[in-house]
Amino acid sequence: MGQGLSCRSSDELGLFSAVQLGDLETVKEVMGKKSALVHCSTVYDRNSALHIAADNGQIEVLSFLLEGSVKPDVLNRHKQTPLMLAAMRGNISCVTKLIEAGANILMFDSRSGRTCLHYAAYYGHSGCLQAILSAASTSPVAASWGYSRFVSIRDRKGATPLHLAARQRYPECVHILLDNGALVSASTGGYGFAGSNPLHFAARGGSLDCIRELLAWGADRVQRDASGRMPYTIALRHHHEACAALLNPSSPEPLVWPSSLKFIGELNQEAKSLLEHALMEANREKEKMILKGTVLSPPSPSPSDSGFDDNMSEVSDSELCCICFDQACTIEVQECGHRMCAHCTLALCCHNKPNPTTACHAVPLCPFCRSSIVKLVVAKVVKTENDIPRKSWRSLNLSEGSSSFKGLSFGRMGGRGSGMIISENEWLDKPLTLAT
């Protein structure tokens, strides 16, 4: 009701101007004289005062309108809700307020058949994206539609939010969607080239960070679109040489986040961050090998290169991982209580090549007591007076020592008590795994 009205009077124009500028006092004054103005809309786009407030991020005016008789899901000419416009602009406070007021996150516009989740992903607003996903997990959407189905919801042309985030080169949005269960290899219908998956779009845009995220979550490098093209071919065609090197089917496979393991899905944020950092660091080491000796630009620095691990450069003997003798013990296995570094924990849980035919993976065992891993938590470090700080192997410059150590890397432990030293070149085609 009221959405078909055109606003031409001075009071109506004054109201919309005040809403746009966030002049709450003027809005209250105009509304006090003529409360019916709240149901008017602009001439062409049919935007209501609530649309204008959401679009311009005027949270005080928006809150005032919602406290009145304005419904949060009022539609404009393209059947877009105020929540969609707030998600487009990245107005996180307006997004949050509209959701709290009961805005429906499962409404589709008439222009592209997209939801507020599509718009947040397309415009790269990670905060809005996370707010909408958080609301979906606790709203009736999760019960009626299913949360995983909502995360990979398609627009009229078959594009999911993950397709849009990859196409627009927003790695943070890509990560959030994957972390919430988005389908990493979903194919489009009519969006872009038919049959394209998110990796095709990332390859076309030349986003190394998006490609890293997608590969780390199991994207298939050899999946072809309807025209028979792999992401590797698309990257070459658009002259993205570094991307093509990572997408080359003959390059070593990256480690893949073990999302199918139950205890991985139950990680707290601190433990999850440690393992995710270890995963990306391990894959960056592989990436350096892939790009070694080429004229390609080097990969962007990892968090460890920018000081993330400065506090781990010296560790005591009691803190040192007994598997690699290289990193500090940061992860504790429950219920046995044994400890490992994040890198060794990741090697224990990860698989190198995605296998679509395997629905789940065998639960890994603790390498010390061979009991099943039930839960992973962050290890609490307890220092004693007898602890002697020592340098990590990675902090030592082996090139200054004996020549017999040159070109060698300290490998992961093959068994419980035996270590091994292997040639650096042998890591190129071998997965980083622990024998069980």
- pLDDT tens digits for 252-305? 888 888 887 888 888 888 888 888 888 888 888 888 888 775 545 444 444 444
Same domain, 326 and 290: yes
Same domain, 390 and 369: yes
pLDDT at 351: 55
Distances from the Cα of 88 to the Cαs of 60, 117, 255, in angstroms? Answer: 19, 9, 34
pLDDT at 54: 97
Same domain, 5 and 99: yes
Helix (H, G, I), strand (E, B) or coil at 136: helix
pLDDT at 380: 82
What stretches of 97-154 adopt beta strand conformation (E)? none
Domain boundary among 104, 133, 159: 104
**Nearest of 321, 435, 336, 413 to residue 376 by alpha carbon:** 336
pLDDT at 101: 95
Same domain, 161 and 82: no
Same domain, 88 and 220: no
Task: Tell me, yes or no, whether 31 lies in a domain.
Answer: yes
User: What is the CATH classification number for the domain harbouring 2?
Assistant: 1.25.40.20
Q: What whole-number distance in Å separates Cα of residue 217 and Cα of residue 433? A: 17
pLDDT at 307: 42
**Nearest of 434, 420, 318 to residue 366 by alpha carbon:** 434
Which residue's structure tokens are 């890198």? Answer: 343
Domain boundary among 220, 251, 282: 251
Low-confidence ranges of the chain (pLDDT < 50): 1-7, 295, 297-315, 352-354, 356-357, 359, 389-436
Same domain, 273 and 373: yes
Which tokens in the block code for residue 384? 């004693």
pLDDT at 103: 95
pTM of the predicted structure, to 2 decimals: 0.77
Same domain, 279 and 416: yes
Domain boundary among 104, 134, 162: 104
Task: Tell me, yes or no, whether 34 lies in a domain.
Answer: yes
**Nearest of 209, 184, 215, 206 to residue 197 by alpha carbon:** 184
User: What is the CATH classification number for the domain harbouring 387?
Assistant: 3.30.40.10
Task: Tell me, yes or no, whether 235 lies in a domain.
Answer: yes
Buried-exposed string 145-167: b where 16+ CB fall within 10 A, e elsewhere: eebeebbbbbbeebbbbbbbbbb
Which tokens in the block code for residue 111? 């222009």
- Hey, which residues does 372 pair with through a beta bridge? 365
Same domain, 4 and 35: yes
Query: In the chain, how many domains are there?
Result: 3
Which residue's structure tokens are 């790009």? Answer: 291
Task: Tell me, yes or no, whether 111 lies in a domain.
Answer: no
pLDDT at 188: 93
Same domain, 220 and 284: no
Residue pair 198/163 in contact by the 8 Å Cβ criterion: yes
**Nearest of 182, 302, 203 to residue 246 by alpha carbon:** 203
**Nearest of 162, 1, 152, 170 to residue 74 by alpha carbon:** 1
Task: Tell me, yes or no, whether 386 lies in a domain.
Answer: yes
Which residue's structure tokens are 């660091």? Answer: 281
Same domain, 185 and 61: no
Task: Tell me, yes or no, whether 46 lies in a domain.
Answer: yes
Q: What whole-number distance in Å separates Cα of residue 134 and Cα of residue 262? A: 21
Which tokens in the block code for residue 9? 């009077």
Same domain, 247 and 344: no
Q: Look up the domain containing 187 and give its range.
A: 142-251
Task: Tell me, yes or no, whether 128 lies in a domain.
Answer: no
Q: What whole-number distance in Å separates Cα of residue 185 and Cα of residue 235? A: 17
Residue pair 119/95 in contact by the 8 Å Cβ criterion: no
Same domain, 270 and 234: no
